[in-house]
A and B are shown apart, each in its own frame.
Chain A
Amino acid sequence: MVEALSLDNIINSIKLNLEGLVKSISISKGYIEVVVDASHIVEAALKLKSMGYDHVKSITAIDYPKESKIRVVYHASSYINEDLAKTIIGLTADIPRDNPVIDSLSQVWRSVEFQEREVYEFFGVIFREHPDLRPLLVIPELAEKKVLRKDFIVKEESIYEGIPHKY
């Protein structure tokens, strides 16, 4: 049996393959975070794919209103290569909150197609060159409200508000 690649080996090979693209690389709990510039995301994804990372498990967007940015994370891994399958790579890019546009990776990884639509409807992130960018789960009227952004507050009905509690 081939010995599993250590995390250090993987980090080194990513540094080597993505030379000049990586802003920072670090080990997070459960995955390796690779931060790249948003303008280099397609290039970085292509390089990762050629290394053997053949699918994307999740696309997460995280809203940071204080820093006025939205962070987009593609969690990629491998099916075919069993050694690479043991680790998850978090390909991360920050984009401005008031103009959230990023290149779509659907031409690199087909598995991102539906999830990019999901990030589009919940955060309003525009994926350039996406073949079919329309809301996936909710109706367009609701998608306009960008409900997963932090400034959308979930209102809970308080039925007993205003009733004085006197005994």
Chain B
Amino acid sequence: MKESPTSTSDVTIKELETRGIQVRKIEKEVYEVFIGPQHPGSGHMRIIVRLDGDIIAEADPDIGYVHRTMEKLSEVREWLKPIPLLERMTIIDACNITVPYVNALEKLMDKAPPPRASYLRVLLCEINRVASHLYGFGIFGVFLGHSTAYMWAFGDREVFVELAEILTGARLTHTYPIPGGVRRDMPQDFPEMARRAVKYMRRRLIEYQRIFLDNPVIVKRLEGVGVISKSLAAELGIVGPNIRGSGIKYDVRLIEPYEVYDELEFEIPVYEEGDALARTWVRVEEIKQSLNIIEQAVDWLERHKGELILSKDDYDKLPKLHKEIYEKTGRVKLLPVHASMKIPAGKAVARGEAGRGEIFYYVESDGGTVPYRVRVVTPSARNAIVFKYIVPGHKLMDLPAIYGSIDYFPPESDR
């Protein structure tokens, strides 16, 4: 057996003991179990678990199986081209992933999108958030052997994937925001469809509660499992619904509102318990809030028909033919100058709230046609640390429950 990293495991156990969980010292007879990387519910990652009996003594998340060097590839592509590249790390949450990158470029260019473009971005972000939470919910059902939740969640996710398709033309990788605007306007029949989807989902959430969240078998598997205290959550730097399930009211949409989130009314659900059940509830409550935002955004967009979806100076630069296409179809056809544009030298930081939590971009320009440095830290990358520090002390059967409640998404983590 490999020599285990000792110093950190000592700290872990000490920390866990202060939270009242009994952890046995690692005995000589320790089983090393590889969970993953082929999909046993773990996805494209591996957790090396060292077991003492059926108690997990140590867990080492071994990630990187789907690493695609996105930061390096961004440095050799013109400014716009990382947008379709980056969104591929979380195709189920594409708009939330790309909006902060575009925001960082806009900060460097001193450019702001018109309000209609911002509302369209927010609309797609919230559709993505609902779809992404439903995806996580479905996978969670598989983890716990609850196949109905899986079928329902994936079926209902289709409603929102279709909405996104009607809005952008693509089911998943929309490549929707561009610096200074968005690429397509809302079709005329969209508001009616969105309202029906919202109404449908509200009804379905009640049924979800009855079959899954209040199900005694599920409650037994989740309650008091994988507890992360408030201070430990802050110390580990985890993000998203996971930190809001531990009593910390942190959501970038609230803390540093980007786009038009400060004009919309919504609440940030927070649960104090910090266990797997609380994290699941946060996601369900967030779906409800996202549905509210979708309604408000659609109402606003209906009231402000005909406004530009591209910044004024970009629109003025378009040749006559492109303007005609824009007027007829609501589609922005980009010019070659967009691909070869230069961005003033400088550095900018932008953050946004993706489905799984905060996404962070650091973008540096040297004034050229390609980024000098793009640093992206995704929510799952920051949540991976949970496996190392929270999983030890639990029974092996609790691992799927913790994994599912964290809503970890390997391609997003590996970038």
Contacts and interface: CB of A to CB of B under 8 A. Distances in A.
A17 interface: no
B352 to A, nearest CB: 11
Contacts of B326: none
Nearest to A118: B381
Interface stretch (A7-15, A40-48, A95-103, A107-115): A107-115
Interface string A100-128: 00000000011111110000001000000
Contacts of B236: 55, 110-111
B218 interface: no
Q: Interface size for chain A: under 10, 10 to 19, 20 to 34, or 35 or more residues? A: 35 or more
Given A88-B349, A138-B64, A57 B72 contact: no
Given A28-B348, A137-B63, A55 B237 contact: yes
Contacts of A115: 377, 381
B373 interface: yes
Nearest to A149: B72
A110 B235 contact: yes
B interface SS class: mixed
Most buried by B among A29, A31, A109: A29
A21 B235 CA distance: 24
Interface residues of B, number: 48
By CB atoms of chain B within 10 A, which of A60, A111, A135, A152 has the most? Answer: A60
Given A28-B347, A154-B72, A154-B76, A113 B67 contact: no
A86 B262 CA distance: 14
Given A57-B360, A148-B72, A137 B108 contact: no
B329 interface: no
Interface in B349-370: 349-351, 358, 360, 362, 364
A61 to B, nearest CB: 8
A107 B115 CA distance: 45
Given A57-B377, A111-B237, A148-B72, A62 B364 contact: yes
A54 B358 CA distance: 16
Given A29-B348, A57-B377, A82 B255 contact: yes
A67 to B, nearest CB: 12
Contact of B362 (A60, A82, A114, A154): A60
B291 to A, nearest CB: 26
Given A28-B347, A29-B346, A75 B362 contact: yes
B362 A58 contact: yes
A32 to B, nearest CB: 10
Count chain B CB atoms within 10 A of each CB in A55, A85, A90, A138 and give the residue with the most.
A55
Given A30-B350, A132-B5, A114 B381 contact: yes
B367 to A, nearest CB: 14
B238 to A, nearest CB: 8
A29 to B, nearest CB: 4
B49 interface: no
A114 B377 contact: no
B56 to A, nearest CB: 18
Interface of B: 5, 7-8, 63-64, 67, 69, 71-73, 76, 104, 107-108, 230-231, 233-237, 243, 248-250, 255-256, 346-351, 358, 360, 362, 364, 372-373, 375, 377, 381-382, 384-385, 389, 414-415
Given A85-B250, A109-B235, 14 more contacts: A29-B348, A30-B104, A55-B235, A56-B237, A57-B382, A60-B373, A80-B231, A82-B249, A110-B236, A110-B237, A113-B8, A115-B377, A135-B64, A137-B414
What are the 5 closest A-B residue pairs judged by CB atoms, nearest first?
Answer: A111-B237, A30-B349, A137-B64, A55-B237, A29-B348
